[in-house]
Amino acid sequence: MLVSHVLVPPAITAILESPTNRVQAFLAAGHVCSVMGTWEYEPLVERYRVPIVVTGFEPLDVLEGIRRTVLQLERGEAQLENAYTRAVNRAGNLPAQQMLADVFEVTDRGWRGIGVIPNSGWRLRDVYRDFDAETRFAVQNIHTEESALCHSGEVLRGLLKPNQCPAFGKECTPRTPLGATMVSSEGACAAYYQYGRFAQSEDGAVL
């Protein structure tokens, strides 16, 4: 196994601690929370005064998550809200968490376009080390070259909209992705390409 799992709260912390941070609120991914629960986000809301709304994946779920987030921002509130109660509760899936804790331990993890975030990933525990490709094969020092054209780190941190990247829709498309955010259909750049590349404001400017 070549494990590259990541943890959400340390990534949110890294974004909020950045001196250039512009992110004012977060939609927390419902599939993660269905296992991990919502309790991990409570200290983040408390410490950074930032709204976090746990959100599902159907179109109405996403709209509801956005609606609740905007309402909080307009009221000047910062709360943890669960807009995905049909799948998520505060504690999460305890047997699944126990299995995860048995197999994995927390480690530093490199994030493409951002760099290493301390304690933001999992690796196999020692007892499973025989199955760990990182120790069995010479893969630890593989370095991924990021395209010089790619601004995915800024996109991930909310500093740049995907279509403000000069390569968006030109050198970089879902068929020819230059960065992680265009590779996955869940990525911001791929979503902008799929749904937003033809969107224009009333004065004709590309949004």
Residues that bind ligand SF4 (CB under 6 A): 149-152, 155, 162, 165, 167-168, 172, 177-179, 181-182, 189
Distance between CA atoms of residues 22 and 13, nearest Å: 13
CB of 54 to ligand SF4, least distance (A): 26
Minimum CB separation from ligand SF4 for residue 173, in Å?
A: 8
Beta carbon of residue 207, minimum distance to ligand SF4 (angstroms, whole number): 15
Nearer to ligand SF4, 73 or 149 (CB): 149
Phi, psi of 172 (to 5 degrees): -115, 115
Does residue 164 contact residue 33 with C-beta atoms inside 8 Å? no
Distance between alpha carbon 194 and the CA centroid of its chain, in Å? 19
Cβ proximity to ligand SF4, 82 vs 181, nearer residue: 181
Contact 54, 38 (CB under 8 A): yes
How far does Cα 122 stand from its chain's mean position?
15
Residue 80, phi then psi, degrees to nearest 5: -90, 120
C-beta of 169: minimal distance to ligand SF4 in Å?
7
Those residues with Cβ within 8 angstroms of residue 204's Cβ, 6 or more apart along the chain or in another chain = none
If the CB atoms of residues 11 and 172 are measured against ligand SF4, the closer one turns out to be 172
Nearer to ligand SF4, 65 or 162 (CB): 162
CB of 3 to ligand SF4, least distance (A): 24
- Which of 166, 198, 159 lies closest to 21, judged by CA? 159
Which is closer to ligand SF4, CB of 105 or CB of 112? 112
CA distance 125 to 127: 5
CB of 5 to ligand SF4, least distance (A): 22
Smaller CB separation from ligand SF4, 33 or 188: 188
